[in-house]
Structures are given as C-alpha cells and as structure tokens.
C-alpha cells in the first residue's frame, strides 16, 4: 500500500505532482474529519460508489456503509484512537445498494499542533477478487464435504507413495482412523511383489496391507480399476471397487495418486452368489447341490458364519438339506424334529414363520432341549430366517451359526436377504419339478401312479424289502367285461367306472402299499410287507370293494375283476418278472373263471411261452389254409338215416401235433382271429355241402359252430348269405350252433344279428343245452329251431336216475316248443336205447362215427348205408 508522504527516492524520482496524479487516478481517496465528515473525495472513489461529489461532501462517511453492518466506523475509530494508520478489507455499499469490497488504508493526518486533523482513506476496489474468493471457498467447502461425507473412501498419496490424505469415508469404510494410515508408505518395497491375489475370498487381505497394489499402475502414469475382496480393521470382508488415478506434473512426473474405493459388497453378493446359484439351477442341479453351493459361497463371504439350510416337510418336520461346514452327525440329530416354539433357532423360526436370533445358545430357553448337542458341535449362537413361499408356506429355514456368542452384523444381514431369496427359488423350483414329474408319472384319469412311476416305486419297495428281508405281493387286476361297458355305455361311462375302481382299490389298501394303473382296465397293487394273513385280508378287501354295485350314467353296474398274484421273493426278485408273472396268473384266472384269484405257478410260464408261439402258428395255419373241417354225422334214430353233419375244425400242427379246438378257439378269440375263422368255416362247409349235394353223397345239411364273438360282427349275415349264394345253397340246409353264453353277452348287436340270420331262413341250434343258463325263458326270445342235449347228460343217462329225469324233461320241452333235440356224445347202445325210449329222434356220437374228414365221411357213409340191419350199428 502506498502511503502519501512517504519518502521518495531522491534524484531520478518523478515530480511530486505526477506521483499524486497517478495515485489519484488509481486509488480511491476520501478525506474525513476525525468525527467522520467527508471533506474531500476524489473522482476515483466517486466512480467506485456511483456518487457525485456534492452528494458526499459534508456528509457522514456512514453514508457509504451498509446500514446493517455494525463494524462500519471501526476502522476510523481505530485510527482516531491510536493515531496510527490502519489497513484492512472492508465491505461498503454503493449508491445503488450493491456491496463493494475495498482494500483500504486509513491514514492519520496530524497537524502542526500534534492534533489529529484528518483521516485519509485510500481504497482499492477488490470486489471481483473477493467474490471469486468466496465462490472458491464455497466450492472448496462443498468439495471437502463431498469428499468426507461420501460413502466412498478416498486416499491420496504423495509423489513418494506415502499416504498424505484419507477422507472420513475411508475411516467409515475400513475402520482405520486417518492417523493410522497417513504417512504409511504405499510403496512396494524393492524386490517384493504386491500383496495378495484378491479374486477369492479365502485370501482376502487387510486393506492397509494391500495399498501398494493400487499404486502399481499409477507409477507408470496409468489409471486402473479393479474389484477386490479386502478386510477391514475389524476383519470384515468387503468387496471394493478400486480406481487409482495418477496426478502428473508437466513433465509427466507423478505428484499424487488418488485412490477411490467403492463398497460393492452388495452387488458382488448378488453377482457372485446369485450368479452361481442361478447358474446351478439353470443347469438343473439337484436341490441339495444348489443349497450347498449357496452355503459355501455365503461362508466365503462371511467366514465366521456356518451356514445351513433345512427344509420343512409336509408334516412340519425339519429335513436338513445343506450345511457343508456342519458335521453330518449334527444333521442326523435334527433330522425329523417337529418344528415348534422351542425347537432351537431353526425349528422356532419355521414354527413362527419369522426370523429368530439367539445370541447365546447356552442361555437361551429355546435351546433348552438341544443345548448339549450345540455345545458338542461348538455352536454358540445362531440366527435363522424362514424361507417363505409365495403362498405363505414355510418351505425351510436358512440358518447362520456362530462359534462365539454374538448376533448378525450388517454384512450378514445383506447376505441373508440375498440367500433367503435364492433358497426360496431353489425350493420352489424343486417343488414344481416334483410336480411336473408327478404329472408325467401319474395317470391323468385316475391320479394313480402310471406304469413308469410304478416301476420306480416298485424298485424302491423291492430295495427296502431286500434290506428288511420282507415279503411282498404283486397283484395284477383286470376288470371283467370292461370292454362291454365302454362299447355299450360309451367312453365317458368307462372312464367314470375306472375312476371309481381306482378309488376303491386305493382305499382298500394301506398307505405304504402301491396302487397303480397300468393301462386300460389293468391295475396293479403291490403289498409291501405282506405275510399270508395280510395278503388274504387285503385281497378280500379289494375284491369286495370292487364288487360293490356302482351307478354310472344311471345304470347300475356290478364290477368284478380277475386277480393274478406273484410273490416276492418266491416268484422273482425283479419287478418286471414279478409283474409279468402276476399278469400270467391273472390271465389264467380270467380264462378259467372270470372274477377269480390265481397265484402264479411255474407251469404258467410254460403256457405263456407256448401261447405266444401257438398264436403265431394259428395265424399262419388260417392264412395258409392248413386248417381242416371234419364232419360228424348226425343220425335220425327213427330210421338210421343221416340227418346232417356237424362241421368241426381240426388243426394238426407239424410240431405240436393235433391241437384241440377248445384250445385254438379260445386262442383265436384272444388274438382276434375268431372272425376270420368263422368266415372260413362257413365258406368251407358250404363248399363241401354243395359238393356232396351235387354228387348225391347223401348229406343234405351241415351245422357250423360259431362263437359268441362272431355275433358282434355286423357283416355276419352278409358273410353267411354270400357263402350260401356262392354255392347255390338254400338257407335251410345250414344250421348255426350257438351256445347259451351268447345270452350272457351284453353286446346290444348280438340279438339283432341272431334275428337277422334267422330271418334269412338259416336254422339256429342251441349247443350244449342244459349246462349253462338256469332259466329256460330265453328259449322263447331266441328263434332257435334245435336243441343239442349236452353230452354230459348222455354220459350219465344209464347210471343216474336224476339225469334221466332231466333228459326226459328236456325232450318234452323240445316237443312242446316244436324243437328238434339232438343228443350229443352217444357212445354206446344203452345210451341210444334210453334216448330212443324217451323220444329222442336225432343223435350224434362215437357210437355212429367220430368227426371225420370229408373223404372219410364218404367212406363211412358207404359202409353205413350198406351195414347189416340194426339193432347194433358200430362205428367204423
Ligand atoms: P361241440 O360243439 O360240443 O362239439 C362236439 C364235441 O364233442 C367235439 O369235440 C366232438 O369231437 C366231441 N364228440 C363227438 N362225439 C363224441 C362222443 O361220443 N363222446 C365224446 N366224449 N365226445 C364226442 P371237438 O371237435 O374237440 O370240439 C370241441 C368244441 O370246439 C366243440 O364243442 C365246439 O364248441 C368247438 N368247435 C369245434 N370246431 C369249431 C369251429 O369250427 N368253430 C367254433 N366256433 N367252435 C368249434
Ligand atoms: Ca357244436
Ligand atoms: Ca355240444
């Protein structure tokens, strides 16, 4: 500051006037009386304040002050008091009211008498500078606030690599006070490599020890970014993102390095843990594997935690799933524990469906029952979070155990949030997978396990039976006449019946037993742990449950089923063998007596094999014309003339020899060849009859046997008509033998077709009469013209009076209904005589002839017509 009147440099100095003019030009000057009245002011000052000279002269200097500024006048007072000059920065006010900052010097002017005459104020306008400064200060203030208050940690080193600054965030994040870090060298000592690989949690190093790592790149003038797991002063692991920026001078020399740390633990938890867990789920890893992985990752991030995941089953019991750091023995101890209000931490959390924190297991009442166990495994505290499904069910519990009494910290809380969510996903995924499997493994119609599921369940049952030395039974159940329900009442009724049967079977057995639907009307029950007595009881329950009448579509049905049984281990140790053998036994039951029960027997195996081969052979024989028709003559007893011939099919197989009709007929029924067989017999017998009639052989009628199944065929009347027409035969020369079982057949078309055949003029003959149906009423409904007395009556007629009474009754029925009665199986003279005595007119049997080939029959006929006269004709 230039003070007027200061000694000037002698000699080369400008003139005093010039100097004053220069000052007058650049400084504002104001001359005041000691009590502050303006007596002089220069233009410069007037310009600064925006006043005219007249405005100020004679006025108090306070005119220039801000009215609200209490310090105004202090400087003047100071000078008048001390009589010494005073400098300082002052704030004043312009005429327009705006503030002006002045660097001002107040100089006392002392008169000759030593009194203070004036105070001269010299001032420079520094407003622009002050404002800039204020803005800078404000910015700096904000900056320091920003740096300190941020969640980020900031560390700055000097050119030597020594830490010269850390912000408050550093202390907050890492737990080190500034003075613990400042001055510490962040340099890598010569010959050493930086500390630590940070990538995995196990080798996480203390942040202080790792500082050198952050400066490696800075030294080369490069900035760098890395994500590392470090430990805080409290040994807490923390994932941080580290950005290092070098500050270089104009020559490229490092002046400072600024290191910025950001806590990325949360995102890292999500990224590492979530990523790995989700990836495991995506690749369809089993539940236990996913949960174990979650526990492992969690323990890496928080090594003081021992993690475990427990499932809560449908019965509310704990089922440990994962806990890689817990001994297996511990899991064994808690497996199956029912959840409750005082069942440790996990059992209680599951029960209450909310988190439970036990900071000291040794003294917590909820652990009263399990304290010793916890102590044995070194568990001192724990924390459990229930894993709750969207529908509110508690699926399981995520448990944290600690080796010392304590509670969770912030990191644990963050971990739990993510992990509970992941566990929930894993559980729900597992549940839906199980559901899907169930769908795929169960039968849509009945909800019972299907064939594949049965295989799985049976294999499990066999495995445990093997271990326990237990016996089991496989029961194959096939409904009787189910096809007829389907055909006559429709598929919906059939489905309803199957559902009812499924329920009944399931209800009649214990929970541990297996009931499955194989296909169609086939069910399989598997009794686990079964002794003979229990098998008896179970069979009886199933059979009576099955038999109970049921209403379907307003129709009352009396279901029944044929049962086949194989036993484990007697009949086999593998399920498919047992199933196959139970199936065979069932088949036998069905064949011999539908609705009955059969146990597997070794012979059946043989039969089944044979049956398969026979079936193929039968098909070949039929298609290759290897079947033959034989004819058994029927004799008119009144004059020993030939009444007609019954066509009987014969099959001689090159390997099996003569196969009896009773065997191959039922085979043809089962393998669907019965229709073809019927057509063949009709055509063949018509051809033969026509041939005989043409050649005058003396056989004018044939009767052909048809099975009940043949009457399901709508084309039967057409087939018969064609067979007759092809050989110009009148319908009356053909008789169709049907058995009484045709009447048991509920197929609605059977009666219609019988009527139709009858309508064509073809005779109908009731075969095996007297053996089956107890009511004779049907004779009025069926248009039969002939009865065939079953050969069992004939067989006993000579020795049994009751039989004679019956045969007598039968012939009178025939007479009354105008039906011819043919006696079958007449083998001897005595039988013939008795029959004749009772009025029988037609007979057939070995007494006359067995069934013969067409050629042999012709020979027989020859002999028959030329035989010596009766009374005792013999068979050839
Ligand atoms: P069926 O209709 O009752 O035939 C009479 C059966 O008794 C025949 O047995 C015949 O050989 C036998 N037989 C004849 N006379 C005597 C006798 O004096 N004493 C004894 N004990 N038996 C005698 P076969 O030929 O073995 O036929 C058995 C059954 O097979 C027949 O019983 C018939 O129901 C059926 N069958 C035979 N051929 C055919 C056919 O082409 N189609 C159909 N659907 N069934 C047939
Ligand atoms: Ca017959
Ligand atoms: Ca018969």
Contact of 685 with 647, CB cutoff 8 Å: yes
pLDDT on residue 757? 96
- Ligand 1 closest atom vs CA 826: 18
β-bridge pairing 702-705 and 641-653: parallel
Ligand 1, pocket-test mutation among 618, 628, 647, 661, most atoms within 8 A of CB: 661
**Dist. CA 603 → ligand 1 center (Å):** 26
Please indicate whether residue 234 or residue 759 has the higher confidence score (pLDDT): 759
- Ligand 1 closest atom vs CA 844: 15
Residue ranges of alpha helices (H) inside 442-519 are 451-468, 482-489, 491-507
Question: Does residue 660 line the site of ligand 1, with CB under 6 A?
Answer: yes
Q: Would you place residue 231 in the very low, low, confident or very high pLDDT band (cuts 50, 70, 90)?
A: confident
**Cα–Cα dist 503/448, whole Å:** 9
Mean pLDDT of the 588-617 span: 83
Q: Which of 470, 482, 447 is CA-nearest to residue 568?
A: 470
Residue bearing the CA closest to ligand 1, atom 33: 705
DSSP single-letter state for residue 126: -
Instruction: Assess whether pLDDT exceeds 60 at residue 599.
Output: yes
pLDDT on residue 109? 92
pLDDT tens for residues 750-785?
889 999 999 999 999 999 888 765 456 677 778 899
Mean pLDDT of the 92-114 span: 92
Output Rg (C-alpha) for the chain, integer angstroms: 58
Please indicate whether residue 347 or residue 138 has the higher confidence score (pLDDT): 347
**Dist. CA 380 → ligand 3 center (Å):** 91
User: Which fold would CATH assign to domain 442-600?
Assistant: Alpha-Beta Plaits (3.30.70)
**Cα–Cα dist 590/483, whole Å:** 14
For the chain, percent of residues with pLDDT exceeding 70: 93
Q: Would you place residue 871 in the very low, low, confident or very high pLDDT band (cuts 50, 70, 90)?
A: low
Question: Does residue 790 line the site of ligand 1, with CB under 6 A?
Answer: no
Q: Would you place residue 801 in the very low, low, confident or very high pLDDT band (cuts 50, 70, 90)?
A: confident
Please indicate whether residue 384 or residue 273 has the higher confidence score (pLDDT): 384
**How many other C-beta atoms lie within 10 A of the C-beta of residue 643?**
22
Mean pLDDT of the 553-575 span: 91
**How many other C-beta atoms lie within 10 A of the C-beta of residue 491?**
10
pLDDT on residue 770? 80
- Where is average pLDDT lowest: 78-87, 430-439, 517-526, 788-797? 430-439
Sheet containing 561-568: order of strands: 514-519, 522-527, 472-479, 561-568, 597-599
Question: Does residue 665 line the site of ligand 1, with CB under 6 A?
Answer: yes
**Cα–Cα dist 344/357, whole Å:** 10
pTM: 0.43
Residue bearing the CA closest to ligand 1, atom 11: 851
Mean pLDDT of the 11-33 span: 82
Q: Where are the domains of the chain?
A: 24-131, 150-190+200-264, 284-428, 442-600, 629-863
Instruction: Compute CA distances 604 → 52, 589, 821, whole Å.
Output: 137, 11, 40
**Dist. CA 659 → ligand 2 center (Å):** 17
Instruction: Assess whether pLDDT exceeds 60 at residue 192.
Output: no
Q: Would you place residue 853 in the very low, low, confident or very high pLDDT band (cuts 50, 70, 90)?
A: very high
Please indicate whether residue 716 or residue 140 has the higher confidence score (pLDDT): 716
Question: Does residue 632 line the site of ligand 1, with CB under 6 A?
Answer: yes
Residue bearing the CA closest to ligand 1, atom 24: 661
Instruction: Compute CA distances 749 → 253, 487, 503, 708, 717, whole Å.
Output: 109, 11, 32, 11, 12
Question: Does residue 685 line the site of ligand 1, with CB under 6 A?
Answer: no
The DSSP-derived string for 551-602 is: EETTEEE---EEEEEEEETTT-SSHHHHHHHHHHHHHHHHHHSTT-EEE--H
Q: Would you place residue 391 in the very low, low, confident or very high pLDDT band (cuts 50, 70, 90)?
A: confident
For the chain, percent of residues with pLDDT exceeding 90: 50
**Cα–Cα dist 775/779, whole Å:** 9
Instruction: Assess whether pLDDT exceeds 60 at residue 238.
Output: yes
pLDDT on residue 12? 58
- Where is average pLDDT lowest: 14-23, 421-430, 443-452, 756-765? 14-23
Question: Does residue 768 line the site of ligand 1, with CB under 6 A?
Answer: yes
Q: Would you place residue 189 in the very low, low, confident or very high pLDDT band (cuts 50, 70, 90)?
A: low
DSSP single-letter state for residue 286: -
Contact of 768 with 726, CB cutoff 8 Å: no
Question: Does residue 649 line the site of ligand 1, with CB under 6 A?
Answer: yes
Determine the CATH number of domain 629-863.
3.20.20.450
Instruction: Assess whether pLDDT exceeds 60 at residue 196.
Output: no
Q: Would you place residue 4 in the very low, low, confident or very high pLDDT band (cuts 50, 70, 90)?
A: very low
Ligand 1, pocket-test mutation among 622, 645, 648, 702, most atoms within 8 A of CB: 648
Q: Would you place residue 13 in the very low, low, confident or very high pLDDT band (cuts 50, 70, 90)?
A: low
- Where is average pLDDT lowest: 651-665, 683-697, 713-727? 651-665
Mean pLDDT of the 401-426 span: 89
Please indicate whether residue 624 or residue 437 has the higher confidence score (pLDDT): 624
Domain 150-190+200-264 has CATH 3.30.450.20: yes
Residue bearing the CA closest to ligand 1, atom 41: 649
Q: Decide if 150-190+200-264 and 442-600 have a common fold.
A: no
Identify which ligand lies nearest to the alpha carbon of 632.
Answer: 1
Question: Does residue 668 line the site of ligand 1, with CB under 6 A?
Answer: no
Mean pLDDT of the 412-440 span: 84
**Cα–Cα dist 644/632, whole Å:** 8
Mean pLDDT of the 328-334 span: 89
Residue ranges of alpha helices (H) inside 27-122 are 43-49, 53-56, 74-82
Question: Does residue 662 line the site of ligand 1, with CB under 6 A?
Answer: yes
Identify which ligand lies nearest to the alpha carbon of 844.
Answer: 1
Please indicate whether residue 292 or residue 553 has the higher confidence score (pLDDT): 292
- Ligand 1 closest atom vs CA 790: 3
Question: Does residue 851 line the site of ligand 1, with CB under 6 A?
Answer: yes
**Dist. CA 824 → ligand 3 center (Å):** 6
Question: Does residue 661 line the site of ligand 1, with CB under 6 A?
Answer: yes
Instruction: Compute CA distances 870 → 835, 839, 866, whole Å.
Output: 16, 18, 11
Instruction: Assess whether pLDDT exceeds 90 at residue 663.
Output: no
Mean pLDDT taken over the chain = 87
pLDDT on residue 773? 54
**Cα–Cα dist 343/658, whole Å:** 78
Question: Does residue 622 line the site of ligand 1, with CB under 6 A?
Answer: no
Mean pLDDT of the 149-176 span: 87
Contact of 633 with 857, CB cutoff 8 Å: yes
Contact of 664 with 648, CB cutoff 8 Å: no
Q: Which of 323, 401, 321 is CA-nearest to residue 360?
A: 401
pLDDT on residue 633? 98
Mean pLDDT of the 478-506 span: 89
pLDDT on residue 195? 41
Question: Does residue 693 line the site of ligand 1, with CB under 6 A?
Answer: no
**Cα–Cα dist 183/172, whole Å:** 19
Name every residue whose Cβ is closer than 8 Å to that of residue 394 and which is 6 or more positions away in sequence.
312, 339, 350, 353, 386, 387, 388
Contact of 595 with 560, CB cutoff 8 Å: yes
Candidate CATH numbers 1.10.3720.10, 2.60.120.10, 2.40.100.10, 3.30.450.40; the one for domain 284-428: 3.30.450.40
Instruction: Compute CA distances 746 → 3, 486, 810, whole Å.
Output: 139, 11, 26
| Angle between helical axes of 287-301 and 275-282 (0-180°, round to 10) | 170
CATH class of 24-131: alpha beta
Residues in the chain: 876
Mean pLDDT of the 268-284 span: 82
**Dist. CA 664 → ligand 1 center (Å):** 12
Identify which ligand lies nearest to the alpha carbon of 662.
Answer: 1
Mean pLDDT of the 193-198 span: 39
Contact of 188 with 216, CB cutoff 8 Å: yes
CA 368 to chain centre: 39
Name every residue whose Cβ is closer than 8 Å to that of residue 516 and which is 6 or more positions away in sequence.
443, 448, 449, 450, 451, 453, 454, 457, 523, 524, 525, 526
Question: Does residue 827 line the site of ligand 1, with CB under 6 A?
Answer: yes
pLDDT on residue 37? 94
Question: Does residue 648 line the site of ligand 1, with CB under 6 A?
Answer: yes
- Ligand 1 closest atom vs CA 706: 44
pLDDT tens for residues 535-562?
999 999 999 999 999 888 888 888 999 9
């Amino acid at each position: 500051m230039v003070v007027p009147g200061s000694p000037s440099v002698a000699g080369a100095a400008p003139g005093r006037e010039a100097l004053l003019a220069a000052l007058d030009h650049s400084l504002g000057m104001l001359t005041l009386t000691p009590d502050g009245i303006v007596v002089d002011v220069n233009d410069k000052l007037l310009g600064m304040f925006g006043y005219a000279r007249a405005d100020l002269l004679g006025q108090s200097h306070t005119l220039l002050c801000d009215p609200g500024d209490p310090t105004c006048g202090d400087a003047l007072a100071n000078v008048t008091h001390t009589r010494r000059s005073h400098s300082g920065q002052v704030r004043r006010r312009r005429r327009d009211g705006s503030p002006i900052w002045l660097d001002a010097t107040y100089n006392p002017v002392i008169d000759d008498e030593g009194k203070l005459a004036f105070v001269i104020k010299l001032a420079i306008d520094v407003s622009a500078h002050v404002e800039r400064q204020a803005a800078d200060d404000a910015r700096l203030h904000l900056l320091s606030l920003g740096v300190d208050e941020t969640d980020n940690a900031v560390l700055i080193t000097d050119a030597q690599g020594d830490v010269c600054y850390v912000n408050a965030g550093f202390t907050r994040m890492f737990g080190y006070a500034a003075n613990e870090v400042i001055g510490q060298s962040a340099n890598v000592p010569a010959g050493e490599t930086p500390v630590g690989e940070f990538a995995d949690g196990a080798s996480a190093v203390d942040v202080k020890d790792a500082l050198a790592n952050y400066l490696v790149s800075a030294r080369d003038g490069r900035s760098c970014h890395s994500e590392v797991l470090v430990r805080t002063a409290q040994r807490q692991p923390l994932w941080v993102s580290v950005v290092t920026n070098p500050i270089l001078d104009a020559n490229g020399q490092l002046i400072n390095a600024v290191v910025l740390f950001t806590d990325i633990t949360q995102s890292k938890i999500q990224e590492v843990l979530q990523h790995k867990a989700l990836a495991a789920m995506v690749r369809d890893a089993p539940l236990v594997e996913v949960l174990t992985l979650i526990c492992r990752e969690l323990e890496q991030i928080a090594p003081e935690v021992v993690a475990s995941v427990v499932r809560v089953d449908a019965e509310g019991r704990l089922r440990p799933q994962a806990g890689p750091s817990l001994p297996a023995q511990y899991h064994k101890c808690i497996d199956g524990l029912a959840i409750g209000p005082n069942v440790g931490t996990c059992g209680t959390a599951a029960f209450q469906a909310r988190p439970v924190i036990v900071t000291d297991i040794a003294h917590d009442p909820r652990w009263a029952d399990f304290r010793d166990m916890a102590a044995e495994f070194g568990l001192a505290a724990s924390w459990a979070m229930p894993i709750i499904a969207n529908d509110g069910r508690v699926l399981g519990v995520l448990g944290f155990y600690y080796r010392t009494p304590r509670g969770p910290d912030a990191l644990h809380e963050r971990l739990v949030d993510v992990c509970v969510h992941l566990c929930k996903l894993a559980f729900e995924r597992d549940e839906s997978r199980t559901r899907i499997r169930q769908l795929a493994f169960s039968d849509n119609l009945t909800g019972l396990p299907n064939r594949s599921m049965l295989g799985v369940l049976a294999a499990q049952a066999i495995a445990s039976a093997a271990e326990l030395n237990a016996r089991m039974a496989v029961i194959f159940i096939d409904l009787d006449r189910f096809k007829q329900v389907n055909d006559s009442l429709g598929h919906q009724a059939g489905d309803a019946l199957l559902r009812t049967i499924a329920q009944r079977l399931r209800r009649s057995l214990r929970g541990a037993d297996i009931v499955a639907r194989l296909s169609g009307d086939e069910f399989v029950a598997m009794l686990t742990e079964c002794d003979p007595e229990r098998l008896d009881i179970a069979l009886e329950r199933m059979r009576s449950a099955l038999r109970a009448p049921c209403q379907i579509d307003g129709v009352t049905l009396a279901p029944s089923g044929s049962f086949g049984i194989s036993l484990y281990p007697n009949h086999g140790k593998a399920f498919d063998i047992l199933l196959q053998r139970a199936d065979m036994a069932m088949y036998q039951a069905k064949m011999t007596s539908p609705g009955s029960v059969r146990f597997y027997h070794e012979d059946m195996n043989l039969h089944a094999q044979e049956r398969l081969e026979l079936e193929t052979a039968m098909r070949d024989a039929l298609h290759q014309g290897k079947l033959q028709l034989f004819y058994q003559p029927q004799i008119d007893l009144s004059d020993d003339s030939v009444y007609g011939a019954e066509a009987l099919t014969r099959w001689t197989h090159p390997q099996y020899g003569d196969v009896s009709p009773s065997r191959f007929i039922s085979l043809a029924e089962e393998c669907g060849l019965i229709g073809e067989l019927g057509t063949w017999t009709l055509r063949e017998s018509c051809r033969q009859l026509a041939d005989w009639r043409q050649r005058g052989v003396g056989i004018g009628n044939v009767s052909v046997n048809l099975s009940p199944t043949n009457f399901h065929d709508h084309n039967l009347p057409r087939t018969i008509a064609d067979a007759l027409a092809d050989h110009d035969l009148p319908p009356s020369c053909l008789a169709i033998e049907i058995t009484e079982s045709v009447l048991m057949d509920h197929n609605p078309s059977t009666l219609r077709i019988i009527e139709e055949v009858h309508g064509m003029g073809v005779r109908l003959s009731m075969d095996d009469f007297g053996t089956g149906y107890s009511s004779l009423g049907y004779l009025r409904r069926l248009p039969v013209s002939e009865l065939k007395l079953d050969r069992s009556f004939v067989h006993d007629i000579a020795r049994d009076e009751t039989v004679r009474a019956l045969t007598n009754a039968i012939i009178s029925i025939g007479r009354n209904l105008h039906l011819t009665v043919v006696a079958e199986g007449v083998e001897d003279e005595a039988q013939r005589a008795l029959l004749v005595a009772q009025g029988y007119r037609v007979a057939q049997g070995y007494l006359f002839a067995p069934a013969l080939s067409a050629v042999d029959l012709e020979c027989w006929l020859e002999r028959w017509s030329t035989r010596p006269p009766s009374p005792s004709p013999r068979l050839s």
